[in-house]
Structure 1
């Protein structure tokens, strides 16, 4: 039986090595909350909130996460005793999935440590090796973009994801394909298009893309279905997928052929595993998208990607691709296109936090 005695929230700002730009925003630093959860025996589990400081991706921000954890999630879990993380009861608190993931991830880490299992085994993973790809944001010019792709391929990344928007997407794809004709390539639109762009999006079929991720609005399942019917390139839904019910809708309407599961966006491992299993049953491949995670969130997302239906390379690459210094030791490394997770209990890494704003909850 596990009971929870103390929660420490650490809040820190981590500057990215390079700004990351998509169709809606540019991120230069990440406002991160690390949760440190203590059980009755003094063991510690860690979680991470990956919410941004502005609600451009979902309605959550680092500020809302801190408030929800302090005033609602911690009061809820400190009264509970559980045998397994799936018994954690948070359903009476609606949405706030990133806040829930910061708590639930710490519970799973704690549980795996108590069981003396690596986290990936505790959740049902089948391997500790995960193939990874590189995500490349919008660049100021084509020359820089080509250089960034070449560098990522030299480092062993197994596929390239490009952020796109309507202004110059086809010109960029033409340039990239002329330099890298056989490289596995996907694009991510972050809802930059509408169904009125369908003829334009059809032209992307010529570039042999693995997928186009979230081309239309996050709540628009019907028009994604219309688009998928008209184009050969697989549509992948990301921002549309928050719950298992969203997956039911997407599959029933044939809105996509691939789904991106982001741990924080669906509320943690328990929900992510249910979504994974349902997609596997319906032969819909899944892959693990990235949220510019620091070390704790990075390795927990990689652990999720060890489940068998994660058939495409994950977004979570090496720590030093994003951070001057990560908060885990050793840092995540990529070798020959793979991350190998350690076999130590829990997340398998030591958490080394700098001086942070702390809030201790008992």
Structure 2
């Protein structure tokens, strides 16, 4: 469903970019490596109608994606922001078209679009959830658990999150840390909602190992193969009972359309940054909903800015599986918003204030800032 009531245009005066370094509560390990500090770019759109905030969800190195912090910083300052400022006045729905001549860089584009969207909706007094088409005021919260020292340590970490009330557990896997880890969690906790995330760590030569996961009655296996292996994912899906979910492969509405046509996925993880923005994310949601494909909202260890936006997105009707919209305290001792997301009976509430519905904590923002630049008209 297209956005029913488009947002009004705002008069763009400039953008502020900040690189933040936020220490994580505990190291987060995937097949890409281990993070102890989350590096992220925060965007502030400066408009004649008030400011808006966005988040560019790159990492410091191009491991999850070809995008990375310094590259996103460079392309935003040299190309994307000047193109938007040259436009002068823009509605959020215009941003993708203005930036379309610049190939790729979807996370950078998404962060800029979100900042303009927040500014426009704040000026109009409209909540983001209402604008996107949310039908719920809170969303079920799952937690993503990185690879631990051994299966026993994994079990204890999972136990702590279940005790906190998380309604779904996702564990990271990679070759050599798959069957044993999954068995340990399933054996200890029985029929909890459980899924695994491979982050592209396997190839079709691992099909027998991946087929072994069928015995654990998983919700899904997420992105077992490389992001461009759409055809191979379709082949794999025919050999597994476990539903195959695509994550890194879904970079746009077109990619999602192709994946569904080939039978490469029976579940889709939607990340707004990965597909180029929240408006494209809604279009992917609409495609999957119309095709009867369940979707859920993935996470990129967002600050309170991106976490609020993800909660609004995950409240759309097609999001029928618990996503990664966890409490802020899952990752950060201190967030950059004054009211971080909290877990309430296994759910996170969708903010109801104008725009993102969050207020930036200026002291925390300044404390975590390691680089800052303002670009004006």
Q: Where on the TM-score scale, by shorter chain, does this alignment land: which range?
A: over 0.9
Instruction: Name the structure 2 match of 1:360.
Output: 374
CA distance in 2, matches of 1:200, 1:319: 34
Instruction: Name the structure 2 match of 1:14.
Output: 22
Q: Which of 168, 172, 181 pairs up with 1:163?
A: 172
Instruction: Name the structure 2 match of 1:277.
Output: 286
- 1:200-211 equivalences in 2 (<5 Å): 200-211=209-220
- What's the offset of the Cα at 1:15? 1.1
Instruction: Name the structure 2 match of 1:136.
Output: 145
Post-superposition CA distance 1:77-117 (Å, at most 9, x none): 11225563112221111110111011001011112112211
Runs of 4+ off more than 6 Å: none
Whether 1:320 aligns to 2:329 is yes
- Unaligned 5+ segments in structure 2 are 1-8
CA distance in 1, matches of 2:28, 2:173: 13
User: Does structure 1 conserve the Cα–Cα contact (< 8 Å) formed by 2:12 and 2:89?
Assistant: no
- What's the offset of the Cα at 1:195? 0.6
Instruction: Name the structure 2 match of 1:241.
Output: 250
Instruction: Name the structure 2 match of 1:112.
Output: 121
- What's the offset of the Cα at 1:342? 2.6
Instruction: Name the structure 1 match of 2:192.
Output: 183
- What's the offset of the Cα at 1:49? 1.0
Whether 1:26 aligns to 2:40 is no
CA distance in 1, matches of 2:91, 2:135: 20
Q: Which of 192, 199, 203 pairs up with 1:194?
A: 203
Q: How many residues align?
A: 361
CA distance in 2, matches of 1:12, 1:200: 39
Instruction: Name the structure 2 match of 1:59.
Output: 66
Describe the SS at the equivalent of 1:48.
strand
User: Does structure 2 conserve the Cα–Cα contact (< 8 Å) formed by 1:5 and 1:40?
Assistant: yes
CA distance in 2, matches of 1:168, 1:279: 31
Q: RMSD over aligned Cα, in angstroms?
A: 1.2
Normalising by structure 2, report the TM-score: 0.93
CA distance in 2, matches of 1:228, 1:258: 11
- Unaligned 5+ segments in structure 1 are none
